Structure 1
Amino acid sequence: MSAGQPTIDNTIGSAYIGWGLSSLVFGVLCIQVWSYYQRYPRDNTAYKSLVGGLWLLELLHQVMVGHCVYSYTVTNFGNVLALAEKPVWTLSWQVFIGALVGTIVKICFGMRVWKFSKGNYFITGTIMVLAVAQLGTALTYTLRSVKLRLIQANQLKTLGTTSLALGVATDIVTAAALSYFLHKMRTGYAKSDTLINRLILYSVNNGILTSACSLTVVILYNVMPTNFIFMGLYFVLSKLYANS
């Protein structure tokens, strides 16, 4: 049997593994959020609200992922035909929630680019447009996917690929811009330059991690669109953005 053909292992099995991995990364996020509030109790209210809001969105995303996995592994246990019907609503809407988290994080990084570039409209605007465009395509994908049966998901391949590709492009542009403008801030003093080098490394590593995950999802989605392997990895993607 071809690796791309749907089986219990690469559909329900992949979704189950993806849920497990996303739970692990969500646990890391919970620790980071707790640590943030403990270490910075007097931080700006806006930042505290942003962190709390992202955590709540990720909690919602994780609940939705858990619900759709439960539906296919427990509620529809042994019902293979469930994979040929319309998807559980949480499977479709977790795509948008995940994209929303990613967009918020990308806009925050875009604001950092704005600050470090001293108000570069072109670069910052490019990042913002790419981020919002991805959110728009993700919403369109979600709204259309709820009307199709799972076996018809291939009809949304172009839309899904476009959304994920926009995410990869945003990550690459953001990482490159942060690295460039931070590099220009070097003063020649060892102490300050060391800090800047660490910020550059942090920016590059975050960009590589999220863009590599997004690119992998794009490849899997185009090579094997009829199974859930790409979706299992997508479950984890938004958690990586939130942790960054």
Structure 2
Amino acid sequence: MSSSTQTLIPQLHLGSTFGALFLGVTFAAILFGLSNVQAFVYFQTHKGTGISFSKLAVAWLWILDALHLALIVHCVYYYLVAHYADIDALTEIVWSFKLQIIIDVLIIYGVHLLYFHRICIVAKGRSKVLPIVVGVIVISGSGVAIALIWAIYRCHVFSDLFKIEWSTYMTLGTMTFVDFIIASSLCYLLTVSRTGFSSTDSMLTKLMAYVINTGCLTSICSMTAMITCAMMPQNFIFLGIEFLLAKLYVNSFLALLNARYYLQSAAETNNSVEVQMRHGIYRPDLNVVVSQDEEFQGSQKNMSKHPSDDVVHLTRSAKPHRPIEVTVETNSFSSV
């Protein structure tokens, strides 16, 4: 029996080691189901727009997400089923565990690049320095990711993971920092995009809430994995938490893409109620001029707006003893 096996046997508690990996895979499968729903909603709402960069990005993230789930399922199956009670096999790091680290890095780094792409579009005409700063930070994070992959592939048994804790801390810390920079930049750009009109400002506020919530979710998961690794380095609880990171990043980005449609549906409902209320107080014997605040909404650039989506503005004029006249104008939002 090898010395690494003898070192691990007294510390091997299946509940906090491979049991933690099993729980991580279970929750990762649930999050993968949520990402399937998110992707389905996105493609359904864009089914008539043809092939676009956003569609290709969503499809690419879904493929990587599915591959990541397959790899971690194989990893747990290898230890708990195929090599059940085989202590020598339990101490070795299987190939699927190492490969899922690469897929994990590709997903997280890819989502950061997609967020950076959104920042560049929203910052157009507003700020030139901010996209450069964010781009340098995001690209610098790739060096940390490469260092993690290099360190993982030098490990052959789980006891070697204790020697590369520095790479885990550095990677998780960098991810949290990049999440903070991206969320802060998007919130700043949305803040300076305010127009002073309640309808557009309300939508921008809700988008900022989406950005902050999704950024906090991934950051909290990264910090939790870092803390558990520091406090309990002898078990695999932090690895089970890391299984969830890729799923959370995919879901957070898809949720941001779909946020506009949820907000638009609520806005259309509110506008419909407002039009009905105004129509109910109409008096044919009075000259009434209805507020035309809706005309200013066409100039607002939405972070997740698709080019094919139009907004309808109603301008109503009233004359004595004549029906209400309705003028319909359509303005396309620019692609963001």
TM-score scaled by structure 2?
0.67
Larger Rg: 2
Per the TM alignment, residue 168 of structure 1 is displaced from its structure 2 partner at its CA by: 0.7
2:13 aligned counterpart, secondary structure: coil
1:111-163 CA-to-partner distances (Å, cap 9, x unmatched) read 22222233334332233224423432332233223xx3111210110012111
Tell me which residue corresponds to 1:214. 222
Are 2:206 and 1:198 equivalent residues in the alignment? Answer: yes
Q: Which runs of at least 4 in structure 1 moved beyond 6 Å after TM superposition?
A: none
Decide whether aligned partners of structure 1 residues 43 and 171 sit closer, same or farther in structure 2, where only a CA change above 3 A counts. farther
Per the TM alignment, residue 179 of structure 1 is displaced from its structure 2 partner at its CA by: 0.9
Per the TM alignment, residue 110 of structure 1 is displaced from its structure 2 partner at its CA by: 1.2
Per the TM alignment, residue 198 of structure 1 is displaced from its structure 2 partner at its CA by: 1.1
Tell me which residue corresponds to 1:143. 153
Tell me which residue corresponds to 1:186. 194
Higher strand proportion, which one?
A: 2
1:60 aligned counterpart, secondary structure: helix
Are 2:120 and 1:110 equivalent residues in the alignment? Answer: no
1:27 aligned counterpart, secondary structure: helix
1:11-26 counterparts in 2 under 5 A?
11-26=17-32
Which ranges of structure 2 fall in alignment gaps of 5 or more residues?
A: 1-10, 253-336
Tell me which residue corresponds to 1:9. 15
Tell me which residue corresponds to 1:66. 73
Q: Distance in 1 between matches of 2:140 and 2:217?
A: 18
Decide whether aligned partners of structure 1 residues 205 and 161 sit closer, same or farther in structure 2, where only a CA change above 3 A counts. same
Greater alpha carbon shift after TM alignment, 91-100 vs 123-132:
123-132
Which ranges of structure 1 fall in alignment gaps of 5 or more residues?
A: none
1:52-87 CA-to-partner distances (Å, cap 9, x unmatched) read 111110111000000000001101111233332x20
Q: Which amino acid aligns with 2:94?
A: V
1:74-93 counterparts in 2 under 5 A?
74-84=81-91, 86-93=92-99
Which structure is richer in relative contact order (CA contacts within 8 A, separation 6 or more)?
Answer: 1
Q: 2:38 aligns with which of 29, 32, 40?
A: 32
1:212-235 CA-to-partner distances (Å, cap 9, x unmatched) read 101111111222223211111111
1:91-170 counterparts in 2 under 5 A?
91-118=97-124, 119-120=128-129, 121-145=131-155, 148-170=156-178
Higher helix proportion, which one?
A: 1
The 8 Å contact of residues 194 and 200 in structure 2, kept in 1 or not, is answered as yes
Decide whether aligned partners of structure 1 residues 13 and 124 sit closer, same or farther in structure 2, where only a CA change above 3 A counts. same
Query: Aligned residue pairs: how many?
Result: 237
Q: Percent identity?
A: 30
